[in-house]
Structure 1
Amino acid sequence: MFEVAMYLVLGAALGTVGGLFGIGGGLIAIPALGVLFGLDQQMAQGTALVMVVPNVLLALWRYHQRNRIELRHALPLALCSFLFAWLGSIWAVGIDAHAMRLGFVGFLLVLMVWNAIRLFLPVAKPSAELRYGWPWLGVLGSFAGAMGGLFGVGGAVVATPILTSVFGTTQVVAQGLSLSLAAPSTFVTLVTYALHDSVAWTVALPMAAGGLLSISWGVKLAHALPENVLRGMFCGFLLVCAVLLVLEV
């Protein structure tokens, strides 16, 4: 009973973070499951996805309520991410767990450095409109989906900084669109991991319940914070995740 309560509280904390940054909570859940519970990389990724899938769906709805997500932008992102997440997840379940963990560390470090640099570069004023449409949204969906399928993070963490820096959107618009990309990619990735017995269900289900209880609060907080503060917090969040992963290796 104590363990169930612990997983529930952990899920609630991760759900808040997932709603705040529009990523479903998987990015920090994966290293947390490895460090706290000793799960190998594939098992940690599959377990985190059980929490991430419902979190992403609820967060997507909340973002859409507050900041309407355009279907013409979301659809190419979602379709391309679905296909490439499936391919990435098939590749992921056959990779050596230690090699996968090292790859994930490198992946996070690159994202962290890129986001840190962006904080100090002059940027054009963000807009709710995208600078580029199809086919560039399809390219982004394919790349983010492949990375999400490979590392079990849904692709939103890849898409969000690209949407703000290259496509010129505000942080909250980028996070909403990233969730539309993450919804199909996380689902197909979870199915692949589950079919390969890479999910610890007794850990995952209470975490999922906790996440659903708290993610709406994270979305509300994201819309209340100033743009620069939210971007700075996102960069700091990536740093924390990278440090956790280094401890895990």
Structure 2
Amino acid sequence: MNTLDLVMNVLLGLVMGTLGGLFGIGGGLVAIPALGVLFGLDQQLAQGTALVMVVPNVVLALWRYNQRNRIDPRNALLLSLSAFVFAWLASLYAVELQAERMRIAFIGFLVALAIYNLARLVMRNPTPSAELRYPWPWLGVLGSTAGALGGMFGVGGAVLAVPVLTNVFGAGQLVAQGLSLALALPSTGVTLFTYALHDHVDWAMGVPLAAGGLLSISWGVRLAHALPERVLRGLFCGFLLLCAVLLALR
């Protein structure tokens, strides 16, 4: 990789990190469509390369979050273990799929995620409580589902976990975000490991993307705090649909 390519990848990482911080998704949902549309990477290679940026972002976010808001270790452990196991199993399945089928499945995932977030604009959120509404073993079901989703698509586990924890389990937003980070760390780590073993990671591209993302994700977070939540959610839905259309036309 020459110097120009290195600089361009870092700049692209800056853009992805900013969007990831803005939408609270760590950059992965931004990176995967961009790598497929702009660079022509097949679906598995795009997902594996995006994970190189996602994993350090999750580590940094979890460390900073736990400094300010202590995460319940019992709940976090159950979510982490179940997510790890099912992410590993799903990633083993994903790396063997035909790339075109994976691309179509990912497009469907983006559309479903956009529809769900649009529905949340009109849904009434329950009043958060200090205790989770359901017994803690049910967190294993959530961890398994979110882990499998992350293992399949490289991202998406935390995107599913946060609304489920707030709308179903009755957790507050801060509690939900902390637990989702605890879920995401082992699942994204084992998924990256699996993709790397099957040569579905472009490290020369992924490392500069990760560097740019780490430098810029805080900018997106600050911008997100300056915008109304409904505006953010609407922008996020529009972005997901745009990515789905571009991938479908590729």
Provide TM-score, normalisation by structure 1: 0.89
Match of residue 13, structure 2, among 2, 11, 14: 11
Q: Which amino acid aligns with 1:181?
A: L
Q: Which amino acid aligns with 2:76?
A: A
Hey, what does 1:155 align to over in structure 2?
157
Instruction: Map Cα deviations across residues 133-155 of structure 1 (whole Å, 9 max, x no partner).
Output: 42111101100100110111151
Hey, what does 2:201 align to over in structure 1?
199
Is 1:127–1:168's contact at 8 Å kept on the other side of the alignment?
yes
Query: Aligned equivalents of 2:145 and 2:136: distance in 1?
Result: 14
Query: Aligned equivalents of 1:221 and 1:74: distance in 2?
Result: 29
Hey, what does 1:95 align to over in structure 2?
97
Q: Which amino acid aligns with 1:139?
A: V
Q: Percent identity?
A: 69
Q: Which amino acid aligns with 2:118?
A: A
Report deviation, 1:76. 1.2
Counterparts in 2 of 1:28 and 1:186: CA distance versus 1, 3 Å: same
Counterparts in 2 of 1:17 and 1:61: CA distance versus 1, 3 Å: farther
Match of residue 29, structure 2, among 22, 27, 30: 27
In the alignment, does 2:61 pair up with 1:59?
A: yes
Report deviation, 1:72. 2.5
Deviates more, 1:33-42 or 1:197-206: 197-206
RMSD of aligned C-alpha atoms?
A: 2.2
Report deviation, 1:47. 0.5
Query: Aligned equivalents of 2:76 and 2:62: distance in 1?
Result: 11
Deviates more, 1:204-213 or 1:225-234: 225-234
Report deviation, 1:182. 0.8
Report deviation, 1:25. 1.2
Match of residue 82, structure 1, among 81, 84, 93: 84
Structure of higher CA gyration radius:
2
List runs of 5+ in structure 1 lacking aligned partners: none
Query: Aligned equivalents of 2:238 and 2:177: distance in 1?
Result: 16
Deviates more, 1:142-151 or 1:168-177: 168-177
Q: Which amino acid aligns with 1:34?
A: G
Counterparts in 2 of 1:75 and 1:231: CA distance versus 1, 3 Å: farther
Counterparts in 2 of 1:6 and 1:170: CA distance versus 1, 3 Å: farther
Q: Which amino acid aligns with 2:180?
A: S
